[in-house]
Chains A and B, each alone.
Chain A
Amino acid sequence: MEMQLNRDRLDKDVQQALRAWHNSGDDSADSLSYLLLVQAQMAAAPHAKGPATRLAVNQVLLNALEEMTTQNETAVRVLKLRFLSQHSLLMVANQLNVSEHTVSRMQRAAIDQLADAIYRQELALRDSKIQEITALLPPATYSQLFGAAEIQTDLIARLRDPGSPWVIAVTGLGGIGKTALADSVIRRLVPELHFDDVVWLRSAAATMSGQSASPQATFDTLIIELAQRFWGQSGVENTPNQRLAQVRQRLKERPFLIIIDNLESETDTAFLLTQLNDLANPSKFLLTSRTRPAPQAIVFTCVIPELSFDDSVTLLNHHAQELGVMALATAVAADYQAIWNVTGGHPLALKLVAGLLDVLPLSTILGGLAQGGAGHIEEMYRHIYWQMWRTLSENGRRLLLTMPLVSETGGDPDYLGVISGLDETQLWPAIQELRSRSLLEVRGALHEKSYGIHRLTETFLHTEIINWPFEEQRSVKRET
């Protein structure tokens, strides 16, 4: 799909399309085939007899002429006589009782008006399509992205590229901002309408436990979700193989962008990568995963690096401002440097530090933290979480330590009250406190807010606070 809509070029394209009104072949209709208006006409009448593009272009021209009629009936008449009825300039001049030169001038002006009408209709349709696609994206979980400009530009360029790579994997540690990056890239691309549609799928909770039965089951579920997005519930084929063929055909016909977010399982990721290349081209896939694909996988891998010093400073200040933390107002370069040295530019860690600065001096927060070295990131998170824990109120702690009982879908305030034992007057300040420390994530929509915690927070609670002995010890080490 051609993205740019150029008003100057449209005059020429409209004129060419008018001249081709009676052409039986489809080639002549190409001048306007890049318009969404034309594509929408073709989609509305997929089985129309005759050259499909030609008929669709003519219908778009007719619709625009119709719109012009109320404003300038004579201009419409001139165009219809000249191009639909194929009258010569002289014949039209005689009918209108004006000179040929005047008809020629009227014709130019009419084409300009017609191009205007088509331009307006096309812009409206594009706006509506952009809104339609954007409305189906999950809500953004960040207010601003930091330090991602370069990687963002690179990803956008690769996704815009009509050739390979067809499958792109964004990988990185938990808390590094994979989903946020993918979301920001998509929101930049959607208005360009490079893709017929952009579909965001989240690979999670195929079952209650959040574990898929098998990689094949994960893949089948993704195919069903895609099929339902394309054809609705009733249009989906019956067997897995038929559905796969159905989806494959659609993805091969037109360019779609499919995002598969949150691939946690290494086996799911590996299996999907073996399948997706067969579905791609011209469509593209963008995956986010903690797992780095195997070297032999046909995928462009984009590893999100930690934030640079400057970007870390910007994020810190931005987040502190959002939280209303004033402590950084007097920070000097050395303070920022100290934070950056120990957090290593991890966005989640920086946010946690920003929250902590409201209650602790920087020296206390950073005290005793090793800089760099093996296990540094784990140690850093453990240290920050401990600092955070020590500064929480009794009710804040009570709520936080029971949050692992809440599933990934989140819990509403009533449920949080049940698990924490806090009454309403205690609960809301505790929620607010955890929110202000970036420990509680808000999920859900306008009318149904629910709360959950980041996986790294849960791991800290399991290993350090609850002393839960039954699950594997994840990335955060136990304090000895």
Chain B
Amino acid sequence: MNSETAINPQFTAGLTAVVAYWQEQTISNTDDAVAALDTRRQNLYRAVVYGLKLEQTRRETAVVILQAFHLAERRGYWHEWIPLLQNAAAACPPDEPLLKADLLNRLGELYLTSRQLPASIESHLQAEAILKQTGEDHKRANDLGAIDLGANHLRHHVWSNLSMDYAFNRQYDLAEQYGQQALAGFRATNAPPKFHANVLNALGVAAWWRGQYDRAETLLREAVAIWRELNQFTDLLRSLNNLMGTLKAARKYDDVWPCYAEAVTYFSHNVGEYEKSLIEVSYGGALYEQGQYDEAKAAFQRANSPYLQQSSYFYHRATVAQCLGNTFLAQNRLADAAPHLEESARLWRQFDDELMLANTLGTIAELYAQQGKADDAITQFEQALALLAKYPDDAWAKKLTADFTRQLQEQKNGGQS
């Protein structure tokens, strides 16, 4: 028996109406629109949960989910929305391959934001495979007109996301490959500038983490300029943050401060608290490297806002805890540093991020060294170096390896360099 036949038709009509209503309400993805949507998210969520259950509302609900993606992504609501996207993609009928690919693409983005990298890559590769198959099917049917711009555009978007996935996964060649493919595709189809900015941002991040700082700066400045032109403040802050990170890595501190000053002017707009926190961490990091520990600590504490503490941004929370721990350590406030570093290590282990964990373990080792606990320090340095050895191609891993190896040797020599 079809269980849906008995459902009250007036309720179904109400559900259909509310899904249509939310389709209208989620069309815009500007920062202001997302902020306004955020205040009504519980009713949106409920409508979507109901809408996905019924066959007659499922497709339109999937459209709502796609349109509401920015709310989930910018406000850290992936805990609730990942299952919705999974359900929507799984229930997508076979004759809707583009819709399914779109859902998988967005699902992958949420996986990436929540730092579930294997799932993110898998989801984006699935989306790519569907789009590739669709194109081949149409070619075989000699229906080239059916391969519309939308499908092509979506494919480029998936490549752009794969570029970021692989950058985060420290597979920089693949990140570069997919990024260049996406860029070429967007250029060929004359896609709106925001898509160019996204892929430039991904390529910039990969270049930064590879140690190609000049190239990263060029790419990221180009992305920033596009977002600035579009008044897309949240994305602008994200690219500015990456640019600040690159400049800091290149030790171009004098170029970091203007970026921070510009970023702060956008804080009064409806931008996410997460993006503000990112900026404060980059700024604090630059101050820290300049030895301005009090100012750095103040920036990290601003980054560690109550919002962040209650949010699902566990990865960033780990970063902030690490930064605070480092700063207290630099100020020789060992008792204050310890809880932050332990908290950070706990969070990194949750994410299985070995490079970040190695960095934290090395810092804890430095703490032990300062406390005169040489054996504990040696153990922690060795654990950190074992993890770092897995990433010979990573610029930061190389830097940490050199640093920790030197300190390990000092501890083994009884504290003498």
- Using a CB–CB distance below 8 Å, which chain A residues touch chain B? 205, 207-210, 213, 220-221, 224, 228, 233, 236, 238-243, 397-398, 401-402, 404-409, 411, 415, 418-421, 465-470
A238: chain B residues within 8 A (beta carbon): 301, 304, 309, 320-321, 324, 340, 343
Report how far A243 CA is from B305 CA in the complex, Å. 13
A-B contact pairs, 27 of them (CB 8 A): A205-B42, A207-B80, A210-B42, A213-B79, A224-B310, A236-B309, A238-B301, A238-B324, A238-B343, A239-B321, A239-B340, A239-B343, A243-B309, A401-B14, A402-B10, A402-B14, A404-B11, A404-B50, A405-B14, A405-B15, A405-B43, A405-B47, A407-B46, A408-B42, A418-B17, A466-B8, A467-B6
Contact: A398 with B10, CB < 8 Å? yes
**B6 and A221 contact, CB distance less than 8 A:** no
**Extra inter-chain contacts (17) besides given A466-B11, A467-B8, CB under 8 Å:** A205-B42, A209-B45, A210-B42, A224-B309, A233-B305, A402-B11, A402-B14, A405-B14, A406-B43, A418-B18, A419-B17, A419-B18, A420-B14, A421-B13, A465-B8, A465-B11, A466-B7
- Please give, as numbers and ranges, the residues of chain A lying within 8 Å of B193 by CB-CB distance: none
Is B339 a contact of A208 with CB atoms below 8 Å?
no
Q: In the assembled complex, how far is the CB of residue B320 from the closest CB belonging to chain A, in whole angstroms?
A: 8
Which residues of A are found within 8 Å of B53, using beta-carbon distances? 470
Do the beta carbons of A407 and B43 come within 8 Å of each other?
yes
A-B complex: 7 closest residue pairs judged by Cβ atoms: A402-B14, A407-B42, A469-B3, A208-B45, A239-B343, A467-B6, A466-B11
- Interface residue ranges, B against A (CB under 8 Å): 3-4, 6-8, 10-11, 13-15, 17-18, 21, 41-43, 45-47, 49-50, 53, 77, 79-80, 301, 304-306, 309-310, 312, 320-321, 324, 339-340, 343
Residues of chain B lying within 8 A (CB to CB) of residue A220: 310
Q: Which residue of A lies closest to B309 (CB)?
A: A224
Chain B contacts for A468, CB-based, 8 A: 7, 11
Q: Which residues of A contact B324 (CB under 8 A)?
A: 238
Q: Provide the bound-state CA to CA distance between A207 and B339, in Å.
A: 27
B311 to chain A, nearest CB (A): 11
Distance in angstroms from B387 CB to nearest chain A CB is: 23
Bound-state Cα–Cα, A294 to B147, Å:
62
C-alpha gap A470/B80 in the complex (Å)? 18
Please give the distance in Å from B258's CB to the nearest CB on chain A: 27
B50 contacts which chain A residues (CB < 8 A)? 404-405
Q: Which of B41, B310, B343 contacts A208 (CB 8 A)?
A: B41
A241 CA to B347 CA, complexed, in Å: 13
Please, which residue of chain A has its CB at the minimum distance from the CB of B52? A470
Judge whether B80 and A209 touch: CB under 8 Å.
Answer: yes
Least distance between A456 CB and chain B CB atoms (Å): 18
A401 CA to B50 CA, complexed, in Å: 14
Min CB gap B314→A, angstroms: 11
B10 cross-chain contacts in A, Cβ below 8 A:
397-398, 401-402
Query: Closest CB of chain B to A68's CB: distance in Å?
Result: 45
Which residues of the partner chain A approach B47 to less than 8 Å between Cβ atoms?
Answer: 405
**Residue numbers in B under 8 Å from A239 (CB-CB):** 321, 339-340, 343
Q: Which residues of B contact A210 (CB under 8 A)?
A: 42
A405 near B46 with CB under 8 A, answer: yes
- Distance of A20 Cα from B17 Cα, bound (Å): 76
- Within 8 Å by CB of A224, from B4, B11, B304, B306, lies B306
Pair B46/A207 contact, Cβ less than 8 Å: no
**How far is the CB of B85 from the nearest CB of chain A, in Å?**
14
Would A421 and B14 count as touching, CB distance under 8 A? yes
**Contact across chains for B14 and A409 when beta carbons are under 8 A apart:** no
Q: How far is the CB of B248 from chain A (nearest CB, A)?
A: 22
For the complex formed, measure the closest distance between the CB of A217 and the CB atoms of chain B, giving whole angstroms.
Answer: 9
In the complex formed, the residue of B with least CB distance to A407 is B42
**Judging by beta carbons under 8 Å apart, are B15 and A469 in contact?**
no
Q: Which residues of A contact B15 (CB under 8 A)?
A: 402, 405
Residues of B within 8 A of A398 (CB): 10
Q: Given A401-B8, A466-B8 in contact, is the A208-B321 Cβ separation under 8 Å?
A: no
In Å, the complex CA distance between A311 and B186 comes to 73
| A407–B45 CB distance below 8 A | yes
Chain B positions within 8 Å of A233 at CB level: 305-306
Query: In the assembly, what is the distance between CA of A407 and CA of B4, in Å?
Result: 22
Q: Could you say which of B49, B312, B320 contacts A209, with CB atoms under 8 Å apart? A: B49
Given known contacts A233-B306, A238-B301, is B14 in contact with A419 (CB within 8 Å)? yes
* In the complex with contacts A238-B304, A408-B42, A466-B11, A418-B6 CB distance below 8 A: no
* A398 (CB) vs chain B CBs: closest residue: B10
Contact residues in A for B306 (Cβ distance below 8 Å)? 224, 228, 233, 236
